[in-house]
Amino acid sequence: MSNLEIRPTSDSDLKAVGEFLQANLTSQFTVDQWVNAFTQDWSTTKPNNGFMLCDGDDIVGVVGAIYSQQMVDGKMVDVCNINSWVVKPEYRSDSIYLLIKTVRQPGYHFTILTPRDQEMEIYRFLKFRTIVTRMIVTANIPWPFASLFGVHAVTDIGTLQQVLHLEDARVHREHTSSPWLRHMAIGKEGAYCYVIYQRITLKAMPTAAILYVSDIQLFNRYRKALGSALLLRGMLFMRLESRFKTAIPKLSVLQTYPTPTLVLSDLLKDCDVLNIYSERAALNLDSAK
Amino acid sequence: MSNMERLVAIYRDVLKKPDLQLTPELTARDVDSWDSLAHVQIIVEVEKKFAIEFDLDDFLTIRNVGDFFKLLQRYGVEL
């Protein structure tokens, strides 16, 4: 490893990293899309964008890191989402150092949302905890009584900023630049549940994949109204992860989650690991399928 | 079985190379089956067999088998 060196990925390295990821991980995203994924405005203290394994001037391996500041139990915490770990075959034996370098950064809570099966033993060695979660898929049924109960669905950007609480309004502002994410507040004045979702296709059916729910109690209270509002927008089903502790409606279908969710933190509970501060929101992953 | 013999057995078993000769200069890149997963498996096996727990930072300085032997000696393993 005499010429090998691990370097933090700075903003000026991102174009080269994007080219590397496009060539070695997936060609389904452009270099600009990779660059945008790592330049989200989700943290004021971002130390890097991950790390690069370099052989001289050549990048031979990369691990991506997306940093964010998130409110957990009333306190702002620093979270590092690890993604896009890839190393050229001839340097595979050194790839573990990229991960070690990343998780040794003090003060961060670490999440991995798209691990590959063959990497799981390595993550376990690094003390990551696996979160068990399933998909709850529910049919959206018309519910014409929403307005009778004074329940409204708000989707207009300007109005959303007015009805959302301070923290939800911040989350909303931080995600308006990703056009594949859709936003809705459902509820009544002073008690809106903010939902971020993505329109996907599930068994050829248009479905709302819920990525974020601001308040699970309000979500359960207004679930029928939400389903009805989604149906009006052409989505026949809604899909949510069971780890968010939502109530499971009678006619739901439970599906196995395609990839495990991993966390390295003594603070974050299962429901605190947020999809919206990861590659799942920074990249349009469902468009790549 | 000496500590060195136990170490050699771990490397041969994990790397599936029954005739592997351990030398201080040997690196992962000299053995085709020695990837990151094998690296971790060697470390986990050594931790189990010698009842020690490494600090992750230790690994950032390891470049070859000789470096790993020195690390083991720092943890009190006689070689």
The predicted-structure confidence for A144-201, as pLDDT tens digits, reads as follows 888 888 899 999 999 999 999 999 999 999 999 999 999 999 999 989 999 999 999 9
Per-residue pLDDT in tens (0 to 9) along chain B, 79 residues = 899 999 999 999 999 999 999 999 999 889 999 998 999 999 999 999 999 999 888 888 888 999 999 999 999 999 8
Q: What is the mean pLDDT of residues A30-55?
A: 95
Residues A193 and A208 occupy one common structural domain: yes
Q: What is the mean pLDDT of residues A128-148?
A: 90
- Of chain B, the end-to-end C-alpha distance in Å amounts to 12
Higher pLDDT, A93 or A217: A217
Write down the ipTM of this complex: 0.79
Distance from CA of B65 to the nearest CA of A (A): 12
Q: How far, rounded to the nearest angstrom, does the alpha carbon of residue A216 sit from its chain's CA centroid? A: 17
- The whole domain housing A213 covers 134-256
A126 to B56: CB separation less than 8 angstroms, yes or no: yes
Q: What is the mean pLDDT of residues A190-214?
A: 95
Q: The domain spanning residue B60 has which CATH number?
A: 1.10.1200.10
Residue A90 domain flag: yes
Angle between the N-to-C axes of helices A14-24 and A31-38, in degrees from 0 to 180, rounded to the nearest 10: 120
Domain count, chain B: 1
A125 to B43: CB separation less than 8 angstroms, yes or no: yes
Which pair of structure tokens corresponds to residue B52? Answer: 């020690």
Residue A269 domain flag: no
B63 to A1: CB separation less than 8 angstroms, yes or no: yes
Percent of chain A at pLDDT above 70? Answer: 98
Residue A270 domain flag: no
Nearest residue of B to residue A124, measured between CA atoms: B40
Angle between the N-to-C axes of helices B3-15 and B65-74, in degrees from 0 to 180, rounded to the nearest 10: 130
Contacts of A100 in chain B (CB under 8 A): 56-57, 59-60
Contacts of A93 in chain B (CB under 8 A): 27-29, 34-36, 38-39
pLDDT at position A288: 47
Residues in a beta bridge with A76: A71
Asked if A66 contacts A282 with a C-beta cutoff of 8 angstroms, the reply is yes
- The whole domain housing B69 covers 3-74
Residue B53 domain flag: yes
Whether residue A2 is predicted with pLDDT greater than 70 in this model: the reply is: no
Nearest residue of B to residue A120, measured between CA atoms: B37
**DSSP E strand stretches across chain A:** 4-8, 50-55, 58-72, 75-87, 109-112, 129-131, 134-139, 152-154, 182-188, 191-202, 205-213, 237-241, 253-256, 261-264
Average pLDDT score, chain A = 92
Residues A122 and A211 occupy one common structural domain: no
Whether residue A57 is predicted with pLDDT greater than 90 in this model: the reply is: yes
Query: Which secondary-structure segment (H or E) carries A217?
Result: helix A216-221
B/e letters for B7-37, b = 16+ CB within 10 Å, e = fewer, are: beebbeebbeeeebebeeebbbeebeebbbb
Residue B39 domain flag: yes
Q: Is A38 helix (H, G, I), strand (E, B) or coil?
A: helix
C-alpha to C-alpha distance for B8 and B51, rounded to whole angstroms: 17
Domain count, chain A: 2
Percent of chain A at pLDDT above 90? Answer: 81
A182-186, A209-213, A283-287, B2-6: which has the minimum mean pLDDT?
Answer: A283-287
Whether residue A289 is predicted with pLDDT greater than 60 in this model: the reply is: no
